[in-house]
């Protein structure tokens, strides 16, 4: 019996730039009404994910946010893990002179952007929206930093983001950088992943691994998909994720997770056979 369903958001449940579909929202409500715990497993934080669910908090009573560093159960934040400030400062110092590259961070007391000049930041799409939070690396706040990212935006096209990520990993031993499938990296404590959050959530909800379904598409989903028997890759997932996933469905552009959530609501574990049959026949 399925008791917990978790899905990555961007390019898994959601096509780029779109909110959850009517189909997906209706299926989530059906699952929750049946007593199944549903939630996002995202690198993003509460406000951003809630916007993708069109403000519907019933879709977020269970959640692994900030790559599992913020864990919600029954609508309550039950666990929060912060990152090492000194390593965040080192990372910001390393990329400070790289055009279009910056570090963002957020905690319960606010947010910041660093590792960039004002002129460089204003040339970017996303970073420029938070220009009022720009600070020098040494002035990064000392409150607990829960969400952080390393961004390669406009102006950084000639910079090898993967090479720089490796340099930063070597210089910042308490941090790891995980790609969500774009030119940015989510920052997590060394050894942390969405799987780490799942393990805590399983204990809180008293759910076994074979009662969990996880959907994903990119490297920051790899470990959580490896941890459960019923892992599901969308068709647009990268090769690594498709290889580790037990089940395969269509593309996020076709609302494949929305349809899959309907299947779970209708068929429970019978959904797996339906997906596998369709995949073999493809």
pTM tops 0.85, yes or no: yes
Q: Are residues 102 and 174 both part of a single domain?
A: yes
Domain containing 275 — which CATH number? 3.40.50.1000
What is the tally of structural domains in the chain? 2
Specify the pLDDT at position 180: 80
Looking at the fold, whether 70 and 99 belong to one and the same domain comes out as no
Q: Residue 74 sits in which domain range?
A: 4-81+193-281
The band of 195, judged by pLDDT with boundaries at 50, 70 and 90, is very high
pLDDT in tens, 141-181: 999 999 999 999 999 999 999 999 999 999 999 999 988 87
Are 62 and 200 within one domain?
Answer: yes
The pLDDT score that the predictor gives to residue 269 is 96
Q: Are residues 63 and 77 in the same domain?
A: yes
Residues 92 and 113 in one domain: yes
Same-domain pairing of 8 and 61:
yes
CATH number at residue 109: 3.30.1240
Domain's final residue, options 189, 205, 234: 189
pLDDT, residue 282, reads 61
My answer on whether 37 and 160 are in the same domain is: no
CA dist 252 and 9 (Å) reads 10
Q: State the average pLDDT over residues 233-259.
A: 97
For residue range 196-206, list pLDDT tens digits in order: 999 999 999 99
Per-residue pLDDT, 181: 73
- Both 90 and 183 in one domain: the answer is yes
The predicted structure's pLDDT at residue 17: 84
pLDDT tens profile 88-136: 999 999 999 999 999 999 988 999 999 999 999 999 999 999 999 999 9
Same-domain status, 128 and 63: no
Does 69 lie in the same domain as 31? yes
With beta carbons less than 8 A apart as the criterion, state whether 114 and 135 touch: yes
User: Of 153, 174, 189, which residue is a domain's last?
Assistant: 189
Domain boundary among 169, 189, 209: 189
The model's pLDDT over 26-81, given as tens digits with 9 standing for 90+, comes to 999 999 999 999 999 999 999 999 999 999 999 999 999 999 999 999 999 999 99
Cα distances (angstroms) measured from residue 78 to each of 2, 71, 81:
22, 6, 11
* Same domain (yes/no): 55, 114: no
Together in a domain, 8 and 68:
yes
């Amino acid at each position: 019996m399925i008791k917990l369903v978790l899905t990555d958001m961007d390019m898994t449940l959601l096509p780029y730039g779109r909110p959850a579909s009517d189909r997906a929202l209706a299926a989530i409500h059906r699952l929750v009404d049946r007593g199944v715990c549903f939630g996002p497993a995202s690198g993003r934080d509460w406000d951003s994910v809630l916007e993708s669910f069109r403000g519907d908090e019933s879709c977020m009573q269970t959640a692994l946010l900030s790559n599992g560093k913020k864990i919600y159960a029954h609508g309550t934040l039950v666990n929060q893990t912060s990152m090492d400030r000194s390593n965040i400062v080192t990372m910001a110092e390393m990329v400070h002179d790289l055009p279009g590259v910056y570090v963002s961070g957020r905690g319960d007391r606010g947010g910041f952007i660093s590792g960039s000049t004002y002129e460089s930041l204003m040339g970017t799409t996303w970073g420029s929206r938070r220009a009022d939070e720009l600070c020098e690396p040494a002035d990064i706040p000392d409150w607990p930093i829960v969400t952080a990212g390393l961004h390669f935006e406009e102006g950084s096209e000639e910079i090898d983001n993967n090479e720089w990520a490796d340099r930063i990993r070597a210089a910042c031993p308490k941090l790891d950088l995980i790609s969500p499938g774009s030119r940015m990296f989510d920052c997590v404590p060394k050894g942390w992943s969405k799987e780490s959050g799942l393990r805590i959530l399983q204990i809180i909800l008293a759910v076994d691994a074979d009662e969990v379904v996880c959907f994903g598409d990119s490297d920051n989903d790899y470990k959580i998909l490896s941890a459960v028997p019923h892992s599901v890759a969308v068709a647009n997932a990268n090769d690594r994720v498709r290889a580790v996933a037990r089940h395969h469905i269509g593309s996020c552009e076709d609302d494949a997770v929305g349809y899959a959530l309907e299947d779970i609501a209708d068929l429970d574990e019978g959904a797996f056979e339906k997906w596998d049959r369709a995949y073999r026949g493809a």
